[in-house]
Chains A and B, each alone.
Chain A
């Protein structure tokens, strides 16, 4: 598979603010990649560089095989860009917005109207096609904006925070539609978000960005597996002797704690480890009330990585304070 995006060592600074310090990553054709990070991490700036709206100060990037700095026209023809505020015209209808966007991409009139109808169907706006956008809900507007980004059949779609500002219900609808889009595999998608759940649900691969740098990268599964493992909780009946319980549970586990009758431990592959732990506990004469395994969430991944970088910053600040 060829890469539709390759970004190498991108940097961008606005005055004293270093928005992008060092960002490198690649997106394969047909892949859905999510740039995940807190507000101000440099996600949007990275996307704007790749969409030719902003020039990077340093580094290089190729999108659809074209250099974003020297072949902007070719890049623009190959991509759809949906910004955080994507600029639909409130007093035009959904269909008219699509037709204007199609014309801006130089589609022929007949092709444009065909494509507009097709996309309105795709994003579930056919019933509202000829209403002015001002009357749309936030979720409907966002869906229209995404349709506008796809009007010229781009090979790559940039979605900058596609669900920010939507209520939970609209967000869930949007996720379903984006999953549907991604499923067809004809379109590569680079989306940014600061919602962990969103990245987890939509992305084939996640690139975590913090302070303008890539700090972790991988599939959601791989990122989670890179953590200390699953957490296993076992509730015991009565109060069995602690040393006995600990001895029974400490097999391949990294840490075991017993709090009253609640046993907690972290193990790799909790699903597989749990039966063994339970049978050992049973053999030791413990009665078990309940047991559960929780997979690490992206939340854990995120905190692990950003938490570490924050700590490093704090340490540096403290050292500076001490030295001063």
Chain B
């Protein structure tokens, strides 16, 4: 068990060293969601007048949504790194060591979760002085961070699976570009469910990004803890399913070598 933990720490250490060598990525990860926060809050600031937002403060409504946007879009692009490792031969190099193969993916998922949590924390902290009150208090904050990390890991695992199946950077980019906007707009990230046509509300019900936004927003506003728990539970189940899919894809990759 300690060996297994150590193996993950080794791989995490590798990716953080790599991240530190390319600080531009770190900067983008932190600045991008803040830019979104600024633009959307300015553009859609008057939306709460339409009703169904649960708060008259759009920034407070938007902040948990942006935390989830940062987390899930980070997850969607995770597979690119796997393709890069396949192309450079790093995956094969590690597969020929005593490291358990699954650790290659799980460590990446853990790293994605850490990144998503950090990003979400920064977003909530930046929005706070501008009036995005955290009515859910500390439990609310914890729930937002959990929602962000779960949705990030779910999409990261899916992205890892696709990377192992297709092994092409172009495919990963196409999937990423196709997925992000529809998933974002069929959720209550920017607007309330009350503003959605009925069919879109149905789609949102099946959209994991929407589950995460619902959980994070209820936690932010401190209004509906049952919704927080149900949506986090659904996300946890999804994480298990996606991680299983990713490990199956890894097995398939190994057999195809």
Q: Is the CB of A77 closer than 8 A to any CB of chain B?
A: yes
B13 contacts A103, C-beta separation under 8 Å: yes
* Residues of chain B lying within 8 A (CB to CB) of residue A81: 92-93, 96
Q: Count of A-B contacts with CB under 8 A?
A: 75
Q: Is the CB of A105 closer than 8 A to any CB of chain B?
A: yes
A89 contacts B96, C-beta separation under 8 Å: no
Within 8 Å by CB of A55, from B90, B95, B255, lies: B255
Q: List 10 A-B contacts (CB under 8 A).
A: A48-B257, A54-B257, A76-B98, A83-B93, A87-B85, A87-B93, A101-B93, A104-B11, A132-B21, A148-B93
Within 8 Å by CB of B10, from A51, A54, A91, A100, lies: A100
Q: Is the CB of A192 closer than 8 A to any CB of chain B?
A: no
* Residues of chain A lying within 8 A (CB to CB) of residue B99: 104
Within 8 Å by CB of B96, from A52, A55, A106, lies: A52
B196-249 CB contacts (< 8 Å) to partner A: none
B53-97 CB contacts (< 8 Å) to partner A: 85, 87-97
Q: Is the CB of A53 closer than 8 A to any CB of chain B?
A: yes
B-contact 0/1 string along A172-187, CB 8 Å cutoff: 0000000000000000
* Residues of chain A lying within 8 A (CB to CB) of residue B174: none
B98 contacts A106, C-beta separation under 8 Å: yes
B21 contacts A76, C-beta separation under 8 Å: no
B89 contacts A83, C-beta separation under 8 Å: yes
| B41–chain A nearest beta-carbon distance, Å | 36
A92 and B90 contact, Cβ closer than 8 Å, known pairs A76-B97, A106-B6 = no
B: number of interface residues (CB 8 Å): 29
| B53–chain A nearest beta-carbon distance, Å | 44
| B160–chain A nearest beta-carbon distance, Å | 17
A104 contacts B94, C-beta separation under 8 Å: yes
In the docked arrangement, what's the CA distance between A86 and B96, Å?
11
| B253–chain A nearest beta-carbon distance, Å | 11
A: number of interface residues (CB 8 Å): 31
B-contact 0/1 string along A193-204, CB 8 Å cutoff: 000000000000
A78-104 CB contacts (< 8 Å) to partner B: 79, 81, 83-92, 96, 100-101, 103-104
* Residues of chain B lying within 8 A (CB to CB) of residue A269: none
A92 contacts B97, C-beta separation under 8 Å: no
B10 contacts A104, C-beta separation under 8 Å: yes
Q: Which residue of B lies closest to A72 (CB)?
A: B98
* Residues of chain B lying within 8 A (CB to CB) of residue A105: 97-98
* Residues of chain A lying within 8 A (CB to CB) of residue B94: 87, 104
* Residues of chain B lying within 8 A (CB to CB) of residue A53: 92, 95-96, 254, 257
Which of A81, A132, A148 neighbours the largest number of chain B CB atoms within 10 Å of its CB? A81
B-contact 0/1 string along A39-63, CB 8 Å cutoff: 0000000001001111100000000
Which of A81, A92, A103, A148 neighbours the largest number of chain B CB atoms within 10 Å of its CB? A103
Q: Which residue of B lies closest to A158 (CB)?
A: B96
In the docked arrangement, what's the CA distance between A219 and B123, Å?
67
In the docked arrangement, what's the CA distance between A106 and B10, Å?
9
B96 contacts A51, C-beta separation under 8 Å: yes
Q: Is the CB of A73 closer than 8 A to any CB of chain B?
A: yes
In the docked arrangement, what's the CA distance between A84 and B221, Å?
55
A86 contacts B98, C-beta separation under 8 Å: no
In the docked arrangement, what's the CA distance between A157 and B7, Å?
23
* Residues of chain A lying within 8 A (CB to CB) of residue B95: 53
A101 contacts B97, C-beta separation under 8 Å: yes
| B2–chain A nearest beta-carbon distance, Å | 11
A89 contacts B90, C-beta separation under 8 Å: yes
Within 8 Å by CB of B89, from A54, A87, A91, A100, lies: A87
In the docked arrangement, what's the CA distance between A61 and B88, Å?
28
